[in-house]
């Protein structure tokens, strides 16, 4: 935090500037920061990349908003605001040229000279936020709002300046391509990605070992060359320098490290536990669902085919099994599972008792069971066993989708819990 009384911290949030075929909000924010730096003597305290509620109707590709905390001389604040206004007018002009889509871009910049309510972040990462209501809140708080109309981007922009990072928050370094190369094939060798975590162990989620493919380079025609995730700013910066020193990785135009809420599970309020009360049903596409009773209500648990291990475990559950889960409540009320754990399996009925190597048979109405070989009798009963769930973990172990099918916000089991 700034200690010089002649300076102050300014928070800038930006969202909804990109298009499926054109641009990227991370690059737009980088361009804004470089524009400010070229005109004013400022220190960028921190850049932030904040992912938002995965079910947001107007979500973009990465569903993320950008924020920056800037330390600036108090006398330069008005000049900063003027630079932002001029830059935003150019952005709006560019956005008007985007090809038409279902949801047109609705750029918004929020600038605040004071701290903002943390609730603006939590409401935007865990549920739907009405843009008109949020715009009133932001304006009433004294923030400067630069926006197109309607101002849908105000939700993400205000969330980005209101997020309070945890000490354990992860980092992502984003490298951008030379403008002339955007739209062409990225040159990021698979062997370089495979070796990344070996030489830089504080980086993670660089590749999906189950599919044998890298995850740092996007597959869309956006300006991003790659994004490296890691535990610290230093870790991702060193990994970036290592990649750029290789002959099999494309040189980037610019790069910057961002503190991020990725891998945080912030979008999920809590872990839930319940008892399975219905058998699983499979729908078209290999998706599965069943009903569990938790607390005082029944809930539908959904596992999509892309969920891999989660889907397989759910399809092997039986009424009476006690499970824990983490997931999002969808607009239709069902829970879309992101992690699943079989806490206590109910015994599975196998068959009637065995005698003389054969299954005992009914001796008649109200007469129990009889062995046809030796004539021994038993009360009518069924034997059972603990389930042997092939391809599933032992009781008490969590499963999750493979790396390439997890949400940006989902925290991998291997990294442990931070709640």
* Residue with the larger pLDDT of the pair 225 and 351: 225
Task: Check: CB of residue 107 under 8 Å from CB of residue 88.
Answer: yes
- Can you tell me the distance from the alpha carbon of 353 to that of 360, in angstroms, rounded to the nearest whole number? 6
Task: Check: CB of residue 366 under 8 Å from CB of residue 351.
Answer: no
pLDDT at 354: 76
Domains and CATH numbers, the chain: 7-162 (3.30.70.2200), 170-260 (3.90.600), 272-347+391-415 (2.40.50.1010), 348-385 (no CATH)
Q: What is the pLDDT of residues 109-148, one digit of tens each?
A: 999 999 999 999 999 999 999 999 999 999 999 999 999 8
Average confidence (pLDDT) over 337-361: 81
Q: What is the pLDDT of residues 178-232, one digit of tens each?
A: 999 999 999 999 999 999 989 999 999 999 988 888 999 998 888 999 999 999 9
Q: How confident is the model at residue 151 (pLDDT cuts 50, 70, 90)?
A: confident
Q: How confident is the model at residue 393 (pLDDT cuts 50, 70, 90)?
A: very low
Q: Phi then psi for 14, rounded to 5 degrees? A: -145, 135
DSSP per position, 28-91: HHHHHHHHHHHHS-EEEEEEEEEE--TT-TT--SS-EEEEEEEEEEGGGHHHHHHHHHHHHHHH
Structure tokens at 126: 């865990």
Q: What is the pLDDT of residues 30-62, one digit of tens each?
A: 999 999 999 999 999 999 999 999 998 877 667
């Amino acid at each position: 935090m700034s200690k010089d009384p002649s300076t102050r911290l300014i928070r800038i949030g930006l969202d909804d500037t990109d298009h499926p075929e054109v641009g990227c909000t991370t690059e737009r924010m980088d361009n804004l920061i470089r524009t400010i730096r070229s005109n004013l003597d400022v220190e960028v305290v921190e850049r932030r990349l904040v992912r938002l509620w995965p079910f947001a109707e107007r979500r973009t590709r990465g569903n993320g908003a950008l924020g920056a905390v800037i330390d600036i001389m108090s006398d330069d604040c008005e000049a900063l605001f003027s630079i932002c206004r001029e830059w935003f007018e150019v952005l709006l002009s560019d956005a008007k040229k985007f090809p038409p889509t279902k949801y047109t871009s609705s750029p918004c910049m929020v600038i605040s000279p004071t701290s903002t309510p943390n609730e603006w972040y939590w409401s935007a990462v865990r549920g739907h936020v009405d843009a008109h209501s949020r715009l009133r809140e932001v304006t009433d708080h004294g923030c400067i709002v630069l926006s197109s109309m309607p101002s849908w981007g105000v939700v993400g922009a205000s969330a980005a300046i209101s997020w309070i990072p945890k000490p354990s928050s992860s980092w992502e370094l984003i490298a951008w391509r030379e403008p002339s190369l955007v739209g062409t094939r990225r040159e990021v060798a698979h062997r370089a990605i495979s070796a990344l975590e070996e030489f830089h162990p504080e980086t993670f989620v660089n590749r999906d070992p189950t599919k044998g493919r890298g995850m740092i380079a996007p597959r869309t025609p956006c300006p991003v060359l790659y994004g490296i995730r890691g535990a610290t700013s230093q870790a991702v910066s060193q990994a970036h320098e290592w990649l750029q020193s290789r002959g099999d990785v494309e040189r980037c135009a610019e790069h910057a490290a961002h503190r991020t809420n990725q891998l945080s599970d912030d979008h999920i309020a809590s872990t839930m536990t319940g008892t399975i009360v219905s058998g699983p049903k499979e729908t078209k596409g290999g998706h599965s669902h069943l009903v569990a009773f938790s607390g005082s209500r029944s809930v539908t648990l959904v596992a999509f085919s892309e969920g891999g291990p989660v889907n397989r475990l759910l399809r092997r559950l039986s009424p009476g099994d006690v499970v824990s889960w983490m997931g999002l409540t969808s607009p239709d009320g069902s829970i879309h599972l992101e992690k699943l754990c079989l806490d206590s399996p109910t015994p599975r009925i196998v068959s009637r008792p065995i005698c003389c190597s054969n299954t005992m048979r009914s001796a008649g109405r109200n007469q129990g069971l009889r062995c046809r070989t030796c004539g021994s009798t038993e009360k009518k009963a069924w034997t059972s066993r603990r389930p042997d769930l092939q391809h599933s973990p032992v009781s008490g172990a969590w499963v999750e989708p493979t790396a390439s099918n997890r949400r940006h916000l989902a925290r991998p089991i291997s990294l442990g819990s931070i709640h």
